[in-house]
């Protein structure tokens, strides 16, 4: 009995003194289609406590990302797949496509990740987590394979690109 209490106490102590976990946005890849829709892949790293929360369905990062994308784009977002470290979305109408005499002009909305902290703060484990919502790498690829890249930015500006 005493051994069980000792083991349980050591486990609790290990969790209490363990370093705080971190959410890290690794890569955001936005592939704009000819019709203005986009396939968006978001790779991230979850801390051990967030993995537990996801396992027990306390937190669903893909749903939070879906909401943020819907707010930014003003378009409905579908989660096409979600795993513990990546979520893939389909966003019809993500970019506005306008035909001009010079070609098709694609305009993407600005994306702001600074509001993600407020979403995280709703969860019980928020005080235990250090979060970095700025993707290490963000790539926006247009239908002609032109790419705009950003590193460690919490806000991605609205972009405009003409495909001849």
pLDDT tens string 103-140: 999 999 999 887 766 766 776 666 766 677 789 999 99
pLDDT of residue 13: 35
Residue 142 has phi, psi (to 5 degrees) of -95, 170
Residues facing residue 105 across a β-bridge: 98, 162
pLDDT of residue 6: 35
Residues contacting residue 63 through CB under 8 Å, at least 6 positions apart: 79
pLDDT of residue 18: 42
Residue 139 has phi, psi (to 5 degrees) of -125, 125
CA-based max dimension of the chain: 82
pLDDT of residue 49: 54
pLDDT of residue 132: 77
pLDDT of residue 164: 95
CA distance 143 to 36: 9
- Residue ranges for the chain with pLDDT beneath 50: 2-21, 54-56, 58
pLDDT of residue 48: 59
144 contacts 96 by C-beta, under 8 angstroms: no
pLDDT of residue 15: 41
Every domain of the chain and the residues it spans: 20-152
Q: What is the pTM of this model?
A: 0.78
pLDDT of residue 9: 37
């Amino acid at each position: 009995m005493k051994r069980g209490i000792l083991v349980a106490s050591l486990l609790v102590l290990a969790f209490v003194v363990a370093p705080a976990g971190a959410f890290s946005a690794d890569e955001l890849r936005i592939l704009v289609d000819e019709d203005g829709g986009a396939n968006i892949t978001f790779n991230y790293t979850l801390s051990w406590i967030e993995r537990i929360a996801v396992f027990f369905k306390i937190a669903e990062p893909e749903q939070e990302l879906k909401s943020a994308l819907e707010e930014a784009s003003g378009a409905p977002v579908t989660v096409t797949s979600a795993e513990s470290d990546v979520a893939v979305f389909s966003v019809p109408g993500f970019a506005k496509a306008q035909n001009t005499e010079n070609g098709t002009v694609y305009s993407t909305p600005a994306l702001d990740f600074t509001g993600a902290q407020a979403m995280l703060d709703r969860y019980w484990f928020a005080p235990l987590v250090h979060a970095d919502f700025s993707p290490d790498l963000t790539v926006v690829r247009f239908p002609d394979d032109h790419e705009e890249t950003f590193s460690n930015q919490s806000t991605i500006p609205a972009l405009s690109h003409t495909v001849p």
